[in-house]
Amino acid sequence: MHIHILGICGTFMGGIAVLAREMGVTVTGSDSNIYPPMSTQLEQLGIEVNQYDVANLDPQPDIVVIGNALSRGNPEVEAVLNNGFSYISGPQWLSEHFLQGRHVLAVAGTHGKTTTSSMLAWILEHAGLEPGFLIGGIPQNFGVSARAGGGKYFVIEADEYDTAFFDKRSKFIHYHPKTLVLNNLEFDHADIFADLDAIKQQFHFLIRTVPGTGQLIINADEEALQDVISMGCWTEKTYFSITGKAGNEWQIENLEQDYSKFKVKHKGESAGILDWQLMGAHNACNALSAIAAAAHVGISAKLSIEALNQFINVKRRMEVRGIINDVTVYDDFAHHPTAISTTLEGLRKHCGNEKIIAILEPRSNTMKMGVHKNTLMNSLRLADSVYIYQPDDIEWNLSELQDDSTQNISMHTDIGRLVDEVLDKNQPGDNILVMSNGGFAGIHDKLLQGLEHKYAQS
C-alpha cells in the first residue's frame, strides 16, 4: 500500500507519516515549508519529501492524506480532485487506523498541549503501559513524534484547529477520548473562529463525545472552561489548580521561585515532590494535569512524579540550542501573547537579573491578522530588549508597537541585520530567547555561529 501525505512536514501530519511507516506501508509526501524538527525526523525514517507538484502523484497512491494547511488551488489538491483519487483527512485516518477500540487520552487547550501530551505519554511509558501517541512536537524522552504503541492506551494532542478544507470540524472531534484533559481556553485561530464563543462551542462538542465512564481533567483556574462545562457535561469531572484555589482534588505547593521544584498534593495530602529540569508555572500546571490524567488509568501520583523527575522537555519548548561564552540561546514555540508571557516569566524567575534578549517572529495566522497586537507588547515586558521580525505577509505594520511602547524594541524586515544587531549588543551572561512557531530561517544556527565567531575574536 502507498499513501501520499500533503502537508507532511506539519507536526501532526509528520506524526501520521511515522504511524503509517509503522504499519509497513510506503509513505511519500509533499510540503512547501520543510524545516526541523519534522524534516529531520522524516529524513531519518527515509521518507521522501518534495515540494508540491502534480508529478508527486505518479505513480498514483492508494490514498492521499490531506493536511489542514492545504486548500483549493494547491496543484496536488486539484489533481487529486480532478482525477478522482481517494483522499482522507489526517484526523479521520488516525481515528480509523489507530484509535478505534483503544483507551484514548486526549489533551486539549489553547496552550501546553504538546508538553502535557508528552508528559502523559512518558508517565504511561514509565509505568510499563507501552502507550501509542501522536504529539505535535518531538518528546525527547522518545525521540519521535508518534508511535503505534504496544498496549491499549493512546495519547493524542487534541487540537481545536479545523480538520481539512473539506471538513471544518475541529480535529479533536475525531478522537473520541475516554480521558480528556482541559488545560486552558483563550481566543486563538482567528482565521477560522469568529470569537471565543465559537471555540467554546467546539470544546462543548468534544465533551459530548466523552463517555459517561470516562473522566474530564479540568483546570479550575480557567473561567472559560467553566463556561464550556455549563453547556452540558455527562462525564465524571476532576479539577486541578496551581493557584491554591480550595476544593480541588489536585494542587501544588511551590518550593522554588521558578517552579523547578514543587510538592504535588492530592486531596490535601502530599503525594511527593517533583524536582525536575523544567521551569515556569505553566509547566507546573501541565505536570499536574498529566498526573491527574494518569491517575484515571490507575497510575499512582508517586509513580507519575518519579517519571516526570526524568522528563526531558519537548524540542522547541525552552530548548537550549547552545551556550557560547556564557550566552545561552533558547528556542521556544511561543506565538500567542499568553504563551510568550508565561515563557518569559519562567525564564525571568530562573535567570534572575541576567539580561534577556527576546526575538519574536509573529508567524501564526492570528498574529499576522493583528488580533493580538494590543496585548503583544505587555507579554514581552519581562525582556530587557526585544527584536521583532516583520514578515512580508503580515496584515499590519509592526512599527505601531514601537510607537506605543517605552520598551527597548527593534523592528526588522531582514533577518541577517537582526542577527547582526543582536550579536553586536549581547554580552557574556545574556539569555537569547527566540520565539516562533516556524523555522525562522534557521536563525538559531545563525546566532550560534555568530557568537562563536564573535568570541573567538576576543
Do residues 361 and 438 touch, judged by C-beta distance below 8 A? yes
CATH no. for residue 346?
3.90.190.20
Can you tell me the mean pLDDT for 395-410? 66
- 435 is in which domain, residue-wise? 319-456
Can you tell me the mean pLDDT for 285-301? 97
Task: Count up the domains in the chain and report the number.
Answer: 3
Q: How far, in Å, CA of 61 to CA of 75, rounded?
A: 16
Do residues 29 and 47 touch, judged by C-beta distance below 8 A? yes
The full DSSP string for 172-228 is: GGGT--SEEEE-------TTT-SSHHHHHHHHHHHHHTS-TTSEEEEETT-HHHHHH
The full DSSP string for 141-180 is: TTSSSEE--SSSEEEEE---SEEETTEEEEGGGGT--SEE
User: What's the pLDDT tens digit per position in 168-185?
Assistant: 999 999 999 999 999 999
Is there a domain that residue 210 lies in? yes
394: pLDDT strictly greater than 80: no
Can you tell me the mean pLDDT for 84-91? 98
Q: How confident is the model at residue 319 (pLDDT cuts 50, 70, 90)?
A: confident
At 240 the three-state DSSP class reads: strand
Can you tell me the mean pLDDT for 329-334? 86
| Span of 129-133, 139-143, 282-286, 369-373 with lowest mean pLDDT | 369-373
367: pLDDT strictly greater than 70: no
Is there a domain that residue 383 lies in? yes
At 364 the three-state DSSP class reads: coil
Same domain, 283 and 155: yes
Q: How far, in Å, CA of 311 to CA of 275, rounded?
A: 10
Same domain, 123 and 82: no
Q: How far is CA 154 from CA 118, 307, 349, 401, in A?
A: 12, 18, 35, 43
Is there a domain that residue 313 lies in? no
Same domain, 327 and 449: yes
Same domain, 79 and 111: no
397: pLDDT strictly greater than 80: no
Residue 11: what pLDDT? 85
Identify which of 9-18, 37-46, 86-95, 380-389 has the greatest average pLDDT.
Answer: 86-95
Do residues 28 and 5 touch, judged by C-beta distance below 8 A? yes
Q: Which of 270, 289, 308 is the last residue of a domain?
A: 308
The most distant pair of C-alpha atoms in the chain lies apart, rounded to whole Å, by 66
The residue whose grid cell reads 527593534 is: 410
Same domain, 143 and 257: yes
**Could you tell me which of 156, 105, 118, 103 has the C-alpha nearest to residue 287?**
118
Is there a domain that residue 93 lies in? no
Q: How confident is the model at residue 406 (pLDDT cuts 50, 70, 90)?
A: low
Can you tell me the mean pLDDT for 237-262? 90
- For the whole model, what pTM was predicted? 0.81
Do residues 274 and 308 touch, judged by C-beta distance below 8 A? yes
Q: Which of 53, 88, 123 is the last residue of a domain?
A: 88
Question: Residue 98 burial by CB count (10 A; 0-12/13-18/19+): exposed, middle or buried?
Answer: buried
| Span of 207-211, 218-222, 290-294, 392-396 with lowest mean pLDDT | 392-396
Residue 218: what pLDDT? 97
149: pLDDT strictly greater than 90: yes
Same domain, 224 and 120: yes
Same domain, 256 and 395: no
User: What's the pLDDT tens digit per position in 37-78?
Assistant: 778 888 888 888 999 999 999 999 999 999 999 999 999 999
State how beta strands 63-66 and 2-6 pair: parallel
Q: Which of 241, 276, 308 is the last residue of a domain?
A: 308
- Name the more confident of 370 and 103: 103
CATH no. for residue 55?
3.40.50.720
Residue 391: what pLDDT? 77
Same domain, 287 and 345: no
DSSP E strand stretches across 246-326: 250-254, 261-266, 269-275, 319-324
Is there a domain that residue 421 lies in? yes
Residue 458: what pLDDT? 58
**Could you tell me which of 262, 237, 265 has the C-alpha nearest to residue 251?**
265
Is there a domain that residue 161 lies in? yes
CATH no. for residue 179?
3.40.1190.10
Residue 170: what pLDDT? 94
Residue 399: what pLDDT? 67
Is there a domain that residue 175 lies in? yes
395: pLDDT strictly greater than 70: no
Same domain, 110 and 57: no
- Rounded to the nearest integer, the mean pLDDT of the chain is 90
Same domain, 406 and 292: no
Same domain, 328 and 406: yes
Residue 40: what pLDDT? 83
Exposure string (b/e) for 258-294, b if CB count within 10 Å is 16 or more?
bbbebbbbbeeeebbebebebbbbbbbbbbbbbbbbb
Residue 33: what pLDDT? 77
Same domain, 20 and 163: no
Q: Please give the grid coordinates belonging to residue 391.
A: 514578515
Is there a domain that residue 439 lies in? yes
Do residues 200 and 173 touch, judged by C-beta distance below 8 A? no
Q: How far is CA 62 from CA 25, 27, 71, in A?
A: 10, 10, 21
